[in-house]
Copies of this chain bind each other. A is one copy, B any other.
Amino acid sequence: MFGRDDAPQVLTEEQQQTIHEQAMRILSEIGTDVLHEPARRLLADAGQRVEDERVRFDPDWIMEQVARAPTTFPIQARNPERSVVVGEGPPICMNVGGPPFASDLDEGRRSGRLQDHDTLVKMTQATDLLTFVQSGAVEPQDLDVVTRHMDCDYSVLRWSDKPYTCYGTSGPKARDAVELGAIVFGGHDAIAERPAMLGIVNPNSPLIWDFRMTDALMVWAEAGQGVVVTPFLLAGGTSPVSVAGALSIQVAEALAGVALAQTVRPGVPCMYGSFFTALDMRTGSPAFGTPESVFGILAGAQLARRYELPFRGGGGLASANSVDGQAAAETQMMLWATMLAGTDLVLHAAGWLEGGLTASFEKFALDLELLRMFARLREGVGFSEQELAFDAIREMGPGGLFLASDHTMEHFKEWLDMSPLFFTPDFAAWQGQGSPTLERNANAAWKKLLESYEDPGLDPAIDEELQEYMAKRRLEPVVEED
């Protein structure tokens, strides 16, 4: 269970082929708008048909480029022991990213602040269940919008020594991320040789590569950093209101992005990303934890494997406005699909609430507990002689009380999974405590996690260099073409 090879096949071979063929038709007959002149030139030079801003692709060329991307690749961490290989081993999970709001029971829902960002980074650093950090964990709205991307990356580099996805929603921001990374990891050549970050690229669906994202993609590809191409598709909004139709656009966009990255720098690490769900037509908002989004993860993983690209998808996504039964139910739909799919990289694995508008600290604690249980499930059933326990069964015999047995006393702490978060006192005791729901217990849990945080430190010379770079950049006007 939860392996790449035994993932549920929600698409038959034939259905995958149908999606593939339609994606190739989309790329060759409809094409995509590429609102970035140097990118269009590069694609034209590579033999693709360019008319005004529209680029139509040769399917064979697309597949040749995609084949240049590695099936697995390393991302180094500031602490070498925390370096990872993407596409091997269990899912690489990380904290939520992108919400404008932060929330916890003590302070309620508020605009995100740098201190909230730091807290999320520290909690991510403090748990072994997350092996990657996402910059932009929450938007620090107390900082200048023009330069706060650097503050987010600095927050990650200063308070964590895990590998990370950098902030970068435009070329100049992506370039700052590369510069900051180069300072920490020994220069541009060093990070080109061994990538030090992942950059997330979302085309402007359907079928538009806008200037900013294309620019960021090219910056990361040039610098040899990992490029995660993730179409952000909402059925009934940015895609047809059907799973099959949306998947064909997902393939078209993802492969076009990967092909462009490979054109910029052959062999650069790329990932096939899936962020797909449907709009709730009653509110116009994306709905998470729905059957469509479950299909999106499972089908996306199958398609990524078809193209031999590591898969980014899923996460602890939920629509709910509070950490209630709806939030947990939606999150479990997504996490089960994420784990069953054998997903390689999981953004937003902890802390996502309110459709991604809020980074919730209590949700963070709930999600970690679910990840902990999935990690336990991944270990499988133990079959040691002691666990088979024939001697204990014989000794106890019919009617034996295992509760009091030596065998139980000796092993229960090791073998029994007792949830640190889901603790259920008897009803009367629970009422006596004020009938706490999960949210209250999760509040205590994230505080305990934060208390356990240990500062990994940062070389003062590197720290100074980072500060100098950021100080210099704060004085320069950031030009963001569009």
Contact = CB atoms under 8 A, between A and B. Distances in A.
Interface in A334-393: 336, 340, 354-355, 357, 366, 369-370, 373, 376-377, 380-383, 386-390, 392-393
Interface string A419-446: 1011111110010000101110110000
* This protein's copies in its complex: 2
Contact of A323 (B29, B54, B325, B381): B325
Nearest to A2: B8
A209 to B, nearest CB: 9
Given A321-B435, A416-B281, A399 B33 contact: yes
A118 to B, nearest CB: 24
Given A411-B242, A422-B319, A381 B325 contact: no
A325 B329 CA distance: 8
A258 B238 CA distance: 56
A115 interface: no
Contacts of A411: 241-242
A328 interface: yes
Given A207-B398, A402-B236, A424 B287 contact: yes
Interface centre among A370, A381, A405, A435 (most CB of B within 10 A): A381
A9 B322 CA distance: 36
A136 to B, nearest CB: 20
Interface centre among A15, A18, A403 (most CB of B within 10 A): A403
A289 B325 CA distance: 14
B1 A10 contact: yes
A405 B240 CA distance: 9
B388 A438 contact: no
Interface stretch (A41-49, A139-147, A244-252, A305-313): A244-252
A239 to B, nearest CB: 6
A67 interface: no
Interface string A275-294: 00011111111010111101
Contacts of A389: 240, 242, 244-245, 248
Contacts of A129: none
A96 interface: no
Contacts of A29: 394
A427 B370 contact: no
A239 B423 contact: no
Given A109-B427, A235-B416, A366-B325, A245 B392 contact: yes
A407 interface: yes
Contact of A390 (B22, B235, B376, B386): B22
A15 B280 contact: no
Interface centre among A331, A386, A402 (most CB of B within 10 A): A402
Contacts of A427: 109, 321, 354, 357
Interface in A224-266: 235-245, 247-249
B373 A333 contact: yes
A282 B392 contact: no
Contact of A6 (B8, B329, B402): B8
Given A10-B380, A355-B424, A390-B25, A403 B236 contact: yes
A349 B142 CA distance: 48
A412 interface: yes
A374 to B, nearest CB: 9
A29 to B, nearest CB: 7
A419 B244 CA distance: 20
A398 B54 contact: yes
A326 B329 contact: no
A389 B247 CA distance: 11
A193 interface: no
A206 interface: yes
B403 A325 contact: no
Contacts of A390: 22, 25-26, 245, 248
Given A10-B381, A15-B383, A244-B383, A283 B400 contact: no
Nearest to A327: B325
A471 interface: no
B412 A281 contact: yes
A342 to B, nearest CB: 12
Top 3 closest pairs, chain A to chain B, by CB:
A332-B332, A245-B389, A325-B438
